[in-house]
Structure 1
Amino acid sequence: MAKFSKITSLLAGATMALSAATAFAADHTLVISSWAPPTHGINAKMWPKFVEMVEEATDGKVTAELKLGIAPPPAQMDLIMDGAADASIIFHGYQAGRFVTTKMIELPGYEGSAEAASVAYWRAYEQYLSKANEHRGVKLIALHTHGPAQLHSNAAVTDMSQIEGMKVRIPGGVGGDVGSALGATGIAVPAPKVYETLASNAADGVVMPFESRKGFKLTEVAQNVYEVPGGLYRGSFAFIMNEDAFADLPADLQKALDEKVFGEPLSREIGKVWDEIDGIGREATMSTEGNAINAASAADLEKFNAIAADVRAKVIAEVTEAGIDGQAAYDMIAKEMSAY
C-alpha cells in the first residue's frame, strides 16, 4: 500500500490524528480531506465516527487521518477523483450544474430528524436516484442531510416579508430556489466564509442549520434566528472515496466496509451526529446574551407552504427530466421519514 504513505507525505495542510492508538497498528491508512473548521462537528464528530466504524469493521486493519485546508469546498469532488486524498465530504449545492437528483432531499416540507432524512435519502438513492449516476468517478459511501435550515441575521426578522431585498448567503440547490422565491438577493459564499461575510456587512444574513450557531460562530455575528418548522430547506451531502484507494484494499476488507459501514449504516450515524450538533447550536443560541429565536407566524407558514409547493413541483420535474421517477422518489422519502 505504498500509495497511501506517498499521498500522506505529499499533502499539505493541517493534520488531525483521529485514532492514534490504532494508526500505528493499521495496515492501511486512508487520507481524509475536510474543508470545515477544525472544531466543526464534521471534523470533531462525523469523521471520528467514520474512523471508529471502519476500524471496528476491519479489526483495526484500516484507519484514517484527517487533513484540513487541502482545497476549498467546491474542489473536493475533483480532489478525490484525482487521488489527491482518499475520502472527503461534499456539499452537492457547491457543484453547480453537476447534481440534480440530490435536490430531492433538500426540499422543504419533510418532517423528521436529520437521521431519519439521511436513512430515507440512502434508500431512495438505492431504489431511484442512483440510476442518474451523478457520482460517477468516485465511490459513494454515504448520503446525508443537515437539519432544517433557518435564516440567521443580525437585525431581527419577525415577518417573512422582511426577507425581500435582503442580501443573504444561500447555497446552491434548493436553498437558492427558496431564496429567490422569498425575494432575497443571493450571495454565493462557501460555509467557512460566512463569519467574515457577516462581520464585514457584505451580507444581511445567511441560511444555514442551527449547528452553524456554534460551528461557524453565528452567535457573534447573526444574533437573530427566524425559524420555520421543518426549515427553509435541507442541505445535501455525500461522503465519497477514491475508487482506486478502495480497489487497492484487500477483497476481504472491501467486503467488510461495504457490508458494515458504507451506505445506510454510515448515513444513519452521520445524520444522528447532525441532530446532536444542531441541538448544541440551539443551546448556544439560547444561552448567549443578545441572541433570539423568532418563530414564523401562522400567516407566514401559510405563505411559505405555497412557496414550498411550487419549489417541490419544480424540482420533481427537474429530476424526472433527468430520467428518474421524481414523484416516486419524493413519495418514498416522505413515507420513510414519517415512519422512521
Structure 2
Amino acid sequence: MVKFTKLTTLLAGAAFALSGTVALAADYTLTISSWAPPTHGINAKMWPKFVEMVEEATDGQVTAELKLGIAPPPAQMDLIMDGAADASIIFHGYQPGRFVTTKLIELPGYEGSAEAASVAYWRAYDSFLRAADEHRGVKVIALHTHGPAQLHSNASVTSLDDISGMKVRIPGGVGGDVGSALGATGIQVPAPKVYETLASKAADGVVMPLESRKGFKLTEVAQNVYEMPGGLYRGSFAFIMNEDSFADLPEDLQKKLDDQVFGEPLSREIGKIWDEIDAEGRAATEAADGNAINEASSDDQARFATIAEEVRTKVLAEISEAGVDADAAYDQIKSDLSGN
C-alpha cells in the first residue's frame, strides 16, 4: 500500500499533505485515514507530530499524507486491515465486543495527565495486553487516552441525580458502563456527529473530554459542563498501521521507526498533545458567553467513587476472562501514574 515516490515532488496541498517541508526526496509516502474534523487536534496536531517524528527518524525517506472521509470511525480498523490506507486512528469503544483489554485505561479513578496515562497504557500493553492479540491484522504503533471525560449538556447539571433519565451520547467501553451505572439512557453516536445530535435535541448531553468544547464546538450546543475531578472515564485510542505497508519498507527504516517513533515515544507525544487541546477546550468554555463549568460536590465525588469501584471490579473481571492478568496490569498503570 505504501506509495513509492523516488525523487518525485508531492503535489502541493494534495490530500492534506502534512509534511512540514515538501518532501522532494521522500522514498515512501504513507496514506493516513482520519475521521475527525479537519481542525480537530487529531488532524491539526497529532498527525503532523507523527509525520514530523517519522521524517526525522528516517532522514526524510518516509513521509505521509492525510486523507479525510475515507470511512466512518467504526470502519477504520477494517479499512487498514484491507490496505485501503496505511495508517489510521481508532477509538476502541466504537466496536463493542471487539476490544476488551483496552477498557483497562478507560477506568475512572486514575490520576495524572493524558501524557502520563498514555505512557502507562503503552507499558501495560507491552507487558500484559499485547498477549490478548485484539489488534490482530494490524500493527499497533501507539496507544493513548484522552483527558478526563465530563458531561456536557444544554441544561445545567449540578448533581449526579440530575443525570438519571437523561439521554446521553456515551461511547462504548467503560463510558457505557459508567453511563448505565448513573442511570442515563445511552445513545451511541460517533464523535463527528455529536454537534448535530445535540442541536437536533436527539440527546440531552454527551460525555467527552474538555477538548470537545472546541474540537466539536460544544460551546454552541452544550453550554454546561458537569465536571467530576478525575473524569467519568478516559477513552482508549490506537494509532494503527497496515502490516504489509510496514513490511514493504526496507529493514533499516523499519528498525528506525520501531526504535525511535512507534510505541512509547509516539504514545507520549500524542498524550501530550491531548493535554494541550483539553486546556484549549477549557479556555474556550471560560471565554464563551453563557457557558459554565459546575464541579461535582464533595458528596457527589464520594458517591461516584463508590460507583467507580463497582465499574472497576466488573471490567477487571472481563479483562481477566480475556486471559490477561488484569490486576497486575491495573497495578502497573497505577504505579506508573504515581511515579513509582
Q: TM-score range by the shorter chain?
A: over 0.9
Task: Identify the range of structure 1 (22-31 vs 82-91) with the bigger mean alpha-carbon deviation.
Answer: 22-31
The one-letter code matched in structure 1 to 2:42 is I
Secondary structure of residue in 1 paired with 2:29: strand
How far is 1:3 from its partner?
Answer: 4.7
**Residue 89 of structure 2 aligns with which residue?**
89
Secondary structure of residue in 1 paired with 2:219: helix
Residues 20 and 332 (structure 1), Cα distance of their counterparts in 2 relative to 1, 3 Å cut: closer
* Unmatched segments (≥5 aa) in structure 1: 6-13
**Residue 151 of structure 1 aligns with which residue?**
151
Q: Give the whole-Å Cα distance in 2 for the aligned partners of 1:230 and 1:332.
A: 18
Question: Where in structure 2 are the equivalents of 1:169-208 lying within 5 Å?
Answer: 169-208=169-208
**Residue 34 of structure 2 aligns with which residue?**
34
**Residue 277 of structure 1 aligns with which residue?**
277
Residues 165 and 33 (structure 1), Cα distance of their counterparts in 2 relative to 1, 3 Å cut: same
Q: Give the whole-Å Cα distance in 2 for the aligned partners of 1:254 and 1:70.
A: 26
Q: Give the whole-Å Cα distance in 1 for the aligned partners of 2:153 and 2:107.
A: 22
**Residue 11 of structure 1 aligns with which residue?**
none
Do the aligned partners of 1:138 and 1:240 also contact (CA within 8 Å) in 2? Answer: yes
How far is 1:2 from its partner?
Answer: 7.2
Do the aligned partners of 1:223 and 1:291 also contact (CA within 8 Å) in 2? Answer: yes
How far is 1:24 from its partner?
Answer: 2.9
Question: Where in structure 2 are the equivalents of 1:134-283 lying within 5 Å?
Answer: 134-283=134-283
How far is 1:15 from its partner?
Answer: 2.0
Q: Give the whole-Å Cα distance in 2 for the aligned partners of 1:139 and 1:295.
A: 40
Moved over 2 A (4+): 1-5, 20-24
Q: Give the whole-Å Cα distance in 2 for the aligned partners of 1:329 and 1:86.
A: 30
Do the aligned partners of 1:149 and 1:234 also contact (CA within 8 Å) in 2? Answer: yes
Question: Where in structure 2 are the equivalents of 1:285-324 lying within 5 Å?
Answer: 285-324=285-324
Q: Give the whole-Å Cα distance in 2 for the aligned partners of 1:223 and 1:333.
A: 34
Cα offsets for 1:49-103 (capped at 9, x unmatched): 0000000000000000000000000000000000000000000000121000000
Q: Give the whole-Å Cα distance in 1 for the aligned partners of 2:258 and 2:60.
A: 16
Cα offsets for 1:80-128 (capped at 9, x unmatched): 0000000000000001210000000000000000000000000000111
**Residue 66 of structure 2 aligns with which residue?**
66
**Residue 77 of structure 1 aligns with which residue?**
77
**Residue 57 of structure 1 aligns with which residue?**
57
The one-letter code matched in structure 1 to 2:288 is T
Cα offsets for 1:246-294 (capped at 9, x unmatched): 0000110000000000000000000000000000000000000100000
With the length of structure 1 as denominator, give the TM-score of the two structures.
Answer: 0.96
Residues 272 and 138 (structure 1), Cα distance of their counterparts in 2 relative to 1, 3 Å cut: same
Do the aligned partners of 2:215 and 2:281 also contact (CA within 8 Å) in 1? Answer: yes
**Residue 48 of structure 1 aligns with which residue?**
48
How far is 1:25 from its partner?
Answer: 1.8
Root-mean-square deviation over aligned CA pairs:
1.2
The one-letter code matched in structure 2 to 1:207 is V
Q: Give the whole-Å Cα distance in 1 for the aligned partners of 2:38 and 2:312.
A: 35
**Residue 9 of structure 1 aligns with which residue?**
none
Secondary structure of residue in 1 paired with 2:208: strand
How far is 1:17 from its partner?
Answer: 1.2
Do the aligned partners of 2:55 and 2:62 also contact (CA within 8 Å) in 1? Answer: yes
* Unmatched segments (≥5 aa) in structure 2: 6-13
Secondary structure of residue in 2 paired with 1:303: helix
Cα offsets for 1:276-322 (capped at 9, x unmatched): 00000000000001000000001101110000000000011001111
How far is 1:338 from its partner?
Answer: 1.3
Q: Give the whole-Å Cα distance in 1 for the aligned partners of 2:270 and 2:120.
A: 13
Q: Give the whole-Å Cα distance in 1 for the aligned partners of 2:72 and 2:24.
A: 29
The one-letter code matched in structure 2 to 1:231 is G
Number of positions where the alignment pairs a residue of Structure 1 with one of Structure 2: 332
With the length of structure 2 as denominator, give the TM-score of the two structures.
Answer: 0.96
The one-letter code matched in structure 2 to 1:148 is P
Cα offsets for 1:149-203 (capped at 9, x unmatched): 0000000000110000000000000000000000000001000000000000000
**Residue 109 of structure 2 aligns with which residue?**
109
Do the aligned partners of 2:169 and 2:189 also contact (CA within 8 Å) in 1? Answer: yes
Q: Give the whole-Å Cα distance in 1 for the aligned partners of 2:71 and 2:335.
A: 38
